[in-house]
Homo-oligomer: A and B are copies of this chain.
Amino acid sequence: MGKLSVVGIGPGNYDNMTVRADRALRECQVIVGYSVYVDLVKDRYPGKEYRTTGMTREADRCRMALDLAREGKEVAMVCSGDSGIYGMAALIYELRGEAEDPEVEVIPGLTAACSGSALLGAPLTHDFAVVSLSDRLTPWEKIAARLRAAAEADLSLVIYNPASHGRPDHLRRAADILLETLPADRPCGIARMIGREGETGTVLTLGQLRDAAVDMFCTVFIGNAATRVVGGRLVTPRGYRDV
């Protein structure tokens, strides 16, 4: 009887994988995924059957993984970051529906909110929101409303997918929305290529963020009203000093 593990591999390096994710990739027969993510793990797990698809072929990729598991294979589908947060687990469950075959296991991984925070300092010590700027599947008006709500409620913000080739100005548009409520000197950060060759963490202000160059390898952090820069790090206190 086959099985499908949906595996969050974290930001991309072995060190940031969990023990459980590593074991799932060592023990499976087939590794399925978007080619860019498969390339991150391929050298470490030799002797596997690899099946890759292009970037926007999510449903095809999930059907392929489910079919292979139904045929009796031990299949691992790799997702960058977490397997659930903006990952493939939901689509796997939707496509399987009410059937019990194949067995599905979702293995969590470090999402960029965790790994990017650690790179920049500690910006998420208190309540926060995570919002993607990709409007491929979500109307921009809904994204804008979520950014406004987070700013007005003094939530720290993590922005996923701040830019892509098709929408180079989304971060600028998002910053302009946030600047309606938040001051231009609000501490922010950009984590790029987390855990990979060329990793960088940049601390800057919301005013500077508006004009910052970002790409699809960036995750953006916006502090709350208490966030400060301490020793070059982006730090949101929780208030333990008062205890």
Chain A contact residues, majority secondary structure: mixed
Contacts A99-B231, A106-B121, A149-B153 known; A237 to B114 CB distance under 8 Å?
A: no
* Interface residue? A150 (CB, 8 A): yes
Complex contact B114–A84 (CB within 8 A): yes
Complex CA gap A84/B62 in Å reads 33
**Chain B minimum-CB-distance residue to A146:** B153
Complex contact A108–B118 (CB within 8 A): yes
Q: How far is the CB of A202 from chain B (nearest CB, A)?
A: 16
* Interface residue? A164 (CB, 8 A): no
Q: How far is the CB of A224 from chain B (nearest CB, A)?
A: 10
* Interface residue? A1 (CB, 8 A): no
* Interface residue? A96 (CB, 8 A): yes
A128: which B residues are within 8 A, CB to CB?
85, 129-130
